[in-house]
């Protein structure tokens, strides 16, 4: 018998699959239901595939193969998220141009994926750095600009001094470091392209309801969007002597019920009122102005890490002015402090120190008044002097005029009505979600297809005032929601003529980030200088590029169409930069729309949980915006989302070069074969749970496959004699149960228990009728077991299918076996408990299976009667499951 040496046939099987196009997408028709199974696509780093990648991709592959065998029309594509920081930083480190290096990385990734037996339809391969691909990324950018979702503005951005780029808030970790490079982040004010994702906040929140996603991810998105209902209250500002000045301070609060307890106002250091005092527009004492100036300067210079380190320590400066509380005419001093965030609400807070710990700390630090207006559960009515007494929860109102005695909820409603009626404020909804900063001062990204024309800007012409802009607004009335401020501020900015796309990223030797807040593209004069699409005067291109999220926001759509898909064109592009034909395939045409309709949304989306508020939120946003543009007729991209757990090293640390604990999938495949690696990673734990690498457990998976190999290679094709008929029936019963279990488990991503069930069956099969174990099943039944193993171990099963059974077509295109009639066992074994503790079993034939008979034979059982000991009892029988005899007394 041949030994199981995976290296000897895995390559051959791969060639067979390719030749016979086994993984080719089958188009869905009336009969075949479509299944779109997708793994989150990787950025092709130089390090090659991680064993963590293997886990995600194998999971999706098991699903794809399972559904294919169930005769569904399956699309299972793969592509490359090749723009962005990780690729670029790696390239810089290697001192290579990313445009030269990334295509090599892709080749390596692709080779590794084939080696693993991942059943991708490579005809649909795409890469985000392919000009044929990002042509549409740019085109979409322009559409979003036209509908008023994009604007450019000076904004304080999170800035990574190491990566030398601005970042989105989502890319900043809670310790104030950069998600990608781990270095501390500062803030810098830069002109940025910004996406108005906030105008979709409500839809992004509400549509979560219908998604079959992990609960945790849904929660994270909900929290990130962070919808809060409250009220904006405007206060008049006065001097200490109550003489009014012509200013108002508007605060946002969710607890207006506590407003009788308000004793001060705090503004963010960036607040306009503060700026006005510092600039001298509002006059105040010199020493106050100086203090304020110093404080603001100091707090704005802090890095986020410094802010975080200071945490709860309260700092601040007094403005010299007071706000008048309308409710009780109280003068509330106006302070500034960096615990108030300029981006949230109105950037101003009303201080209620009795019922907010932060406010209390601030009041204590600066000697401000504390008033109790709520009596909480503890019933404490005494003045609040200690932090522990601060009542943040609900309760009953006191010291609050007409609100006294009311509960928190009633008081809130009553005072909101009251304030609105008096015209002092207005109910508002705020969100934690901020607009999405979309520019990066880096080379390796899609060029932003916008041009700035000084000539037009001087005449205050914005795109929306051009003929084209007016026409667009008329034909898209439902979505033309760019507000007046945006229109006003966007004078001089024009999108490229769409026919000229793609705006290709130029090949350059100086691709390293500049650190000046401008991208390296700025230095390429011939590229920057262009003509204004509107007036024809000389103009300048936008030199910032898009973030790496851009390409991944719509790639799942692109797979749907093969026609406008293409092989990576980077090399062609470099050889013939002027050959537009070669780099331009299709557009958002009818064919593309039809393909999208056929395949989208994605049915199964598998990937890590780390994208919860990044890629998964951005993609949902783009899809909704595209729906509004009439490009799509659905609102959610991913129907089912499943998370994969991380694979960490054997020493329970992250796999990393510096720890020297990296497992390279190539080595594993070389030694144990791809099937063993796949089985191991699917078997070790529930799919969404973290696993630590274990080479001995991997060897267990190999042993299992080795036994499969042996039993099939010693398989005799003769039917079995009648002598063992009964046992054989049992084995076939077990086989049917196993088929049922695997069939149920796979769509629930319970891969570990599916594999355990198959191991159990193999144990039984081997034990049965030794030493001729292989004779114990008929050929047809032996094939069924091979088939249910096929999605997990595609190579070994194919090899046996073709070369042991002599099948003509791939096992992966065969029909998934039916579990058949479960063989009814003649005898049934019922566990018997006495007082809830297992004491014995009764074995009865099916005919005798009445409750009466069971109880009769149970009490006769020696082990049972011993415990009954003549006492009275009642019996509880759960049909076919268990009998419990409960003793009286």
**Nearer to RNA by C-beta: 610 or 826?**
610
Q: Least Å distance between CB 510 and RNA?
A: 34
Residue among 433 and 625 whose Cβ is closer to RNA: 433
- The CA distance from 243 to 71, in Å, is 81
Residues 6+ away with beta carbon under 8 Å from 889: 871, 872
- Give whichever of 696 and 721 is closer to RNA, judged by the CB atom: 696
The string of DSSP letters for 659-721 reads GT-PPPHHHHHHHH-HHHHHHHHHHSS-TTS-EE--HHHHHHHHHHHHHHHHHHHT---SPPP
3-state secondary structure of 38: strand
Instruction: Classify 473 as helix, strand or coil.
Output: helix
Strand duo 691-692 + 602-607: pairing: unpaired
Which whole-number Å values give the CA distances from 697 to 49, 685, 702, in the listed order?
21, 11, 9
- Cβ-based nearer residue to RNA, 100 or 650: 650
Two tokens, residue 193 = 């392209």
How far apart, in Å, are the Cα atoms of 314 and each of 317, 338, 354, 361, 747?
A: 11, 8, 16, 7, 53
Give whichever of 93 and 837 is closer to RNA, judged by the CB atom: 837
Measured CA to CA, the distance from residue 336 to residue 132 in angstroms comes to 52
* Positive or negative: CA dihedral 228, 232, 237, 242: negative
CB of 6 to RNA, least distance (A): 14
CB of 5 to RNA, least distance (A): 12
Extract the tokens encoding 163.
């990566």
> Rounded to the nearest whole angstrom, what is the least distance from the CB of residue 216 to RNA in the complex?
4
- The residues, any chain, with a CB within 8 Å of residue 21's CB and separated by 6 or more, are none
Which CB, 82 or 233, lies closer to RNA?
233
Nearer to RNA, 692 or 804 (CB): 692
Q: Sign (positive/negative) of CA torsion 775, 779, 783, 785? A: negative
Contacts of 885 (CB under 8 A, 6+ apart): 832, 833, 834, 835, 855, 858, 859, 864, 868, 873, 874, 875, 876
Nearer to RNA, 474 or 881 (CB): 881
Closest separation in Å from C-beta 339 to RNA: 4
Q: State which residue, 574 or 652, has the beta carbon closest to RNA.
A: 652
The CB-of-702 to RNA minimum distance in angstroms stands at 7
Return the structure tokens found at 4.
Answer: 């199981």
**CA geometry: angle 599, 602, 608, nearest 5 deg:** 155
Residue 550 CB, nearest distance to RNA (Å)?
20
Token pair, residue 461, equals 């012409």
Selection from 496, 487, 498 nearest residue 461 by Cα: 487
By C-beta, is 235 or 554 nearer to RNA?
Answer: 235
Q: How distant is the alpha carbon of residue 79 from its chain centre? A: 18
Token pair 């506590």 is found at 258
810 within 8 A of 80, measured Cβ to Cβ: no
Question: What is the separation of C-alpha 884 from the centre of its chain, rounded to a whole number of angstroms?
Answer: 48
The residue among 71 and 315 lying less far from RNA, judged by its C-beta, is: 315
Residue closer to RNA, measured from CB, 277 or 754: 754
762: number of Cβ within 10 Å: 17
3-state SS of 625-672?
HHHHCCCCCCCCCEEEEEECCCEECCCCCCCCHHHCCCCCHHHHHHHH
Output the six-digit token pair for 809: 């077509």
Closest CB to RNA among 454 and 652?
Answer: 652
Shortest Cβ distance from residue 353 to RNA (Å)?
A: 11
CA distance 127 to 84: 12
Q: Quote the tokens at residue 367.
A: 């000697």
Return the number of the residue (273 or 702) whose C-beta is nearest RNA: 702
**Beta carbon nearer to RNA, 152 or 434:** 434
Which conformational region is residue 870 in: left (phi greater than 0), alpha (psi within -120 to 50 degrees), or beta?
Answer: left
Query: How far does Cα 688 stand from its chain's mean position?
Result: 14
In the complex, what is the shortest distance from the CB of residue 232 to RNA, in angstroms, rounded to a whole number? Answer: 10
Minimum CB–partner distance for residue 311 and RNA (Å)? 6
Confirm if 644 and 608 have CB atoms less than 8 A apart. yes
Residue 809 CB, nearest distance to RNA (Å)?
Answer: 30
Torsion angle of C-alpha atoms 878, 879, 883, 887, degrees rounded to 10: 50
- Identify which of residues 526 and 771 has a Cβ nearer to RNA in the complex: 771
- Give Cα separations from 752 to 54, 59, 681, 733 (angstroms): 15, 11, 9, 22
Considering the complex, what minimum distance in angstroms separates the CB of residue 817 from RNA? 21
In 3D, which of 521, 358, 324, 364 has the Cα closest to residue 439?
A: 521
CB of 262 to RNA, least distance (A): 10
Minimum distance, C-beta of residue 485 to RNA, in the bound complex (Å): 21
For the bound state, the minimum distance from the C-beta of residue 482 to RNA, rounded and expressed in Å, comes to: 25
Residue (441 or 752) nearer to RNA, CB: 752
Minimum distance of RNA from residue 243's CB (angstroms):
28
CB of 348 to RNA, least distance (A): 7
Pair type for strands 827-834 and 837-845 = antiparallel
Three-class DSSP category at 160: strand
- Shortest separation between residue 66's beta carbon and RNA, angstroms: 18
């Amino acid at each position: 018998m041949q030994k199981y040496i995976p290296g000897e046939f895995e390559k051959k099987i791969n060639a067979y699959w390719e030749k016979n196009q086994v993984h080719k997408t089958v188009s869905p028709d009336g009969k075949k239901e479509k299944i779109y199974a997708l793994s989150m696509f990787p950025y092709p780093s130089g390090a090659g595939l991680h064993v963590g990648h293997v886990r995600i991709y194998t999971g999706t592959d098991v699903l794809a193969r399972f559904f294919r065998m169930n005769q569904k029309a399956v699309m299972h594509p793969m592509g490359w998220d090749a723009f962005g920081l990780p690729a670029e930083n790696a390239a810089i480190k290697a001192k290579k141009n990313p445009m030269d290096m990334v295509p090599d990385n892709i080749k390596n990734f692709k080779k590794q994926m084939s080696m693993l037996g991942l059943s991708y339809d490579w005809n649909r391969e795409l890469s985000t750095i392919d000009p044929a691909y990002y042509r549409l990324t740019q085109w979409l950018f322009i559409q979003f600009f036209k509908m008023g979702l994009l604007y450019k503005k000076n904004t304080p951005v999170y800035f990574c001094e190491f990566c030398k780029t601005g970042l989105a808030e989502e890319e900043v970790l809670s310790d104030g470091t950069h998600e990608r490079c781990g270095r501390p982040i500062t803030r810098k004010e830069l002109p940025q392209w910004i996406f108005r994702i906030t105008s979709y906040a409500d839809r992004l929140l509400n549509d979560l309801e219908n998604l079959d996603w992990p609960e945790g991810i849904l929660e994270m998105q909900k929290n990130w969007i962070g919808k809060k209902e409250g009220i904006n209250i405007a206060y008049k500002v006065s001097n200490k002597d109550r003489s009014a000045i012509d200013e108002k301070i508007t605060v946002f609060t969710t607890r207006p019920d506590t407003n009788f307890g308000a004793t001060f106002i705090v503004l963010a250091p960036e607040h306009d009122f503060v700026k006005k005092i510092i600039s001298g527009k509002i006059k105040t004492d010199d020493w106050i102005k100086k203090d304020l100036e110093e404080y603001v300067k100091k707090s704005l210079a802090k890095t986020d890490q410094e802010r975080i380190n200071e945490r709860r320590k309260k700092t601040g400066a007094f403005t010299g002015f007071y706000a008048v509380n309308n409710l009780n005419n109280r003068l509330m001093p106006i302070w500034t402090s960096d615990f108030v965030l300029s981006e949230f609400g109105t950037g101003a807070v009303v201080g209620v120190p009795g019922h907010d710990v932060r406010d209390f700390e601030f009041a204590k630090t600066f000697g401000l008044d504390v008033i109790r207006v709520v009596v909480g559960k503890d019933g404490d009515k005494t003045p609040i002097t200690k932090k522990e007494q601060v009542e943040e929860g609900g309760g009953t109102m006191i010291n609050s005029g007409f609100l006294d005695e009311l509960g928190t909820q009633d008081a809130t409603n009553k005072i909101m009505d009251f304030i609105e009626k008096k015209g002092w404020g207005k109910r508002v909804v705020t969100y934690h979600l901020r607009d999405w900063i979309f520019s990066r001062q880096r080379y390796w990204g899609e060029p932003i297809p916008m041009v700035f024309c000084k000539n037009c800007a001087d005449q205050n012409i914005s795109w929306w005032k051009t003929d084209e802009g007016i026409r667009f607004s008329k034909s898209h009335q439902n979505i033309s929601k760019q507000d007046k401020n945006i229109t006003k501020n966007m004078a001089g900015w024009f999108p490229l003529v769409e026919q000229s796309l793609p705006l290709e990223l130029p090949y350059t030797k100086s691709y390293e980030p500049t650190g000046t807040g401008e991208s390296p593209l700025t230095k390429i004069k011939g590229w920057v200088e262009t003509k204004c699409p509107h007036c024809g005067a000389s103009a300048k291109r936008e030199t910032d590029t898009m973030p790496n999220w851009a390409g991944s926001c719509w790639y799942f759509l692109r797979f749907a169409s093969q026609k406008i898909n293409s092989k990576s064109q980077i090399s062609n592009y470099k050889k013939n930069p002027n050959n537009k034909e070669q780099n331009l395939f299709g557009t958002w045409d009818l064919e593309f729309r039809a393909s999208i309709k056929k395949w989208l949304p994605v049915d199964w989306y598998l990937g890590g949980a780390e994208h919860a508020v990044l890629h998964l939120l951005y993609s949902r946003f783009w899809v909704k915006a595209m729906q509004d543009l009439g490009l799509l007729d659905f609102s959610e991209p991913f129907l089912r989302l499943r998370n994969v757990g991380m694979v960490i090293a054997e020493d329970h640390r992250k796999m990393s070069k510096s720890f020297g604990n990296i497992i390279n999938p190539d080595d594993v495949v070389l030694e144990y074969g791809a099937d063993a690696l796949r089985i191991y990673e699917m078997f070790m734990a529930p799919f969404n749970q973290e696993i630590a690498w274990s080479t001995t457990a991997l060897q267990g998976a190999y042993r299992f496959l080795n036994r499969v190999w042996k039993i099939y290679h010693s398989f005799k094709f003769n039917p079995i004699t009648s002598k063992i008929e009964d046992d054989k029936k049992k084995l076939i019963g077990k086989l049917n149960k196993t088929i049922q279990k695997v069939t149920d488990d796979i769509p629930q991503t319970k891969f570990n228990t599916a594999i355990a069930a198959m191991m159990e069956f193999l144990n039984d099969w081997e034990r049965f009728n030794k030493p001729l174990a292989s004779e114990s099943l008929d050929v047809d039944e032996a094939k069924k077991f091979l088939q249910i193993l096929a999605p997990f171990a595609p190579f070994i099963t194919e090899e046996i299918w073709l070369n042991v059974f002599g099948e003509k077509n791939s096992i992966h295109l065969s029909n998934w076996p039916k579990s058949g009639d479960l063989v009814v066992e003649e005898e049934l074994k019922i566990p018997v408990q006495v007082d809830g503790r297992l004491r014995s079993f009764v074995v009865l034939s099916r005919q005798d299976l009445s409750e009466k008979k069971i109880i009769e034979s149970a009490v006769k059982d020696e082990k049972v009667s011993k415990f009954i000991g003549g006492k009275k009892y009642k019996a509880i029988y759960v049909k076919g499951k268990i009998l419990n005899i409960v003793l009286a007394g």
